[in-house]
Amino acid sequence: MSISIQDTIKAIRDMIPIIDPEEDYLTIAAAEEQMSITEQERKREFEEAQLKLRSLTRILEAARASSTRPPTIPSAEAHAAMMNKLDATRLSLAKAINDAESSLAGKEAELARLKEETTALEGSDSTTEHDLDATALRLALYKGLGFEPIMTKDGRIEKMLVRSESSDVHCVTFEDGKSDREYADLLWKLASS
């Protein structure tokens, strides 16, 4: 179906009285102006929306950061495990404190008993309770040093057995007429040989 050029020209000529270029121009200009105003409003609304979006994004990020557990704070499982461990430590410390208090009470009772005994012993005279033989003590002391006196029946020292550091035994008689100092030097010399 082809339209002839003549029909087209005739249709255009029929439309000339209907078409008013000035009115159409004003309509187009008004439409362009309205579109420009609308576009500016849309840009302004878009920028406002972007500002609101950025603000809301910052608020969202802050809310996310505040709602998540910081790395310095342990997880719920780690916290529960730590609480259990601390409870066990608390119980063991309480038991240790109880044991220490019991031990302290026992030691305080023992101290009180020992103080009473000390007071009683300080009040008593031990020399009156025992008859000490000074001669027997001296002889035991000499024997511990390595000197064993041999006594006569009348209680005089006749000889002295001297055990030296090398475990040799020497016999010293007191009939040579030496002085006490010379005998003492001789005895110590033999004991230290």
Per residue in 29-80, pLDDT tens?
A: 999 999 999 999 999 999 999 999 999 999 999 988 888 777 787 888 888 8
pTM above 0.75, yes or no: no
CA dihedral sign of residues 120, 121, 127, 131: positive
Contact criterion met (CB below 8 Å) for 172 and 190: yes
CB 161 within 8 A of CB 146: no
108-to-9, 95, 103, 162 alpha-carbon distances in Å: 133, 20, 9, 51
**How many Å apart are CA 158 and CA 173, to the nearest integer?**
6
The band of 108, judged by pLDDT with boundaries at 50, 70 and 90, is very high
Counted residue by residue, the chain has a size of 193
Instruction: Say which residues have a Cβ less than 8 Å from residue 145's Cβ, sequence separation at least 6.
Output: 191
- What are the sequence ranges of the domains in the chain? 145-190
- If pLDDT is split at 50, 70 and 90, which confidence band does 126 have? low
Among 38-42, 65-69, 131-135, 150-154, top mean pLDDT goes to: 38-42
* Per-residue three-class SS string for 64-113: HHHHCCCCCCCCHHHHHHHHHHHHHHHHHHHHHHHHHHHHHHHHHHHHHH
Q: What is the reported pLDDT for 127?
A: 62
Cβ–Cβ < 8 Å for 150, 161:
yes
In sequence order, what are the residues at sequence separation of 6 or more whose Cβ sits closer than 8 angstroms to the Cβ of residue 152?
Answer: 158
